[in-house]
Amino acid sequence: MPKGEGKLIAQNRKARHDYTVVDTMEAGIVLQGTEIKSIRNSRINLKDGFVRVRNGEAYLLNVHISPYEQGNIFNHDPLRTRKLLLHKKQIAKLMTETKNTGITVIPLKVYIRNGYAKVLIGLAKGKKQYDKREDLKRKEINREIDRTLKNNLR
């Protein structure tokens, strides 16, 4: 299956606005108890999330998974650090890429595939303010072109 295929649960829309995504890879998430139930209910927020590599393991930080309503005492801490399941070569690639200045690893999407929660992480470079304005101008020009072509075909 191609990357990102499955039931989309959450998407980090602001990531593509603030960063230029260089490369993406899929990772599994180690979850506790009621976290998967909250994820299935789309109670996850990726907005401020990022990935850190420590001691040869990748961790997902600052991702908020809301406590499950029927979870009582078995609920989890919403902002806890979660381990990502990646191959050694993928982790080594993340380590070498993040040593370069300006490169960060961010979560782009969370989805369910074959009953497992997966996260699509991206190697990204931060955009400057003028880059963001340039992208918005380019999008507006493309929209205008599409509108004129659509009206001319009628």
72-82: per-residue pLDDT in tens?
777 888 899 99
130 Cβ partners below 8 Å, 6+ apart?
Answer: none
Q: Give the per-residue pLDDT at 3.
A: 57
Domain contains 81: yes
Q: Give the per-residue pLDDT at 76.
A: 82
Domain contains 63: yes
Domain contains 141: no
User: For the segment 85-99, what is each residue's pLDDT rounded down to a tens digit?
Assistant: 999 999 999 998 888
Q: Give the per-residue pLDDT at 1.
A: 42
Q: Give the per-residue pLDDT at 78.
A: 86
User: For the segment 104-124, what is each residue's pLDDT rounded down to a tens digit?
Assistant: 999 999 999 998 999 999 999
Give the domain range for residue 15: 7-127
Contact 42/9 with Cβ under 8 angstroms?
Answer: yes
Domain contains 150: no
Domain contains 1: no
Please report which confidence band the pLDDT of residue 11 belongs to, taking 50, 70 and 90 as the band edges.
Answer: very high
66 Cβ partners below 8 Å, 6+ apart?
Answer: 38, 43, 44, 78
CATH number at residue 99: 2.40.280.10
List the structure tokens of 47.
């907005």
Distance of alpha carbon 94 from alpha carbon 116, whole angstroms: 23
Domain contains 153: no
Domain contains 92: yes
Domain contains 90: yes
Is residue 148 predicted with pLDDT exceeding 50? yes
Report the C-alpha dihedral over residues 32, 92, 63, 117, rounded to 10 degrees. Answer: -50
Please report which confidence band the pLDDT of residue 32 belongs to, taking 50, 70 and 90 as the band edges.
Answer: confident
Q: Give the per-residue pLDDT at 86.
A: 95
pTM for this one?
Answer: 0.80
Please report which confidence band the pLDDT of residue 57 belongs to, taking 50, 70 and 90 as the band edges.
Answer: very high
Distance of alpha carbon 139 from alpha carbon 136, whole angstroms: 5
Q: Give the per-residue pLDDT at 135.
A: 82
Q: Give the per-residue pLDDT at 18.
A: 85
Q: Are strands 82-85 and 64-65 parallel, antiparallel or unpaired?
A: unpaired
Domain count, the chain: 1
The mean per-residue pLDDT over the stretch 128-136 comes to 80
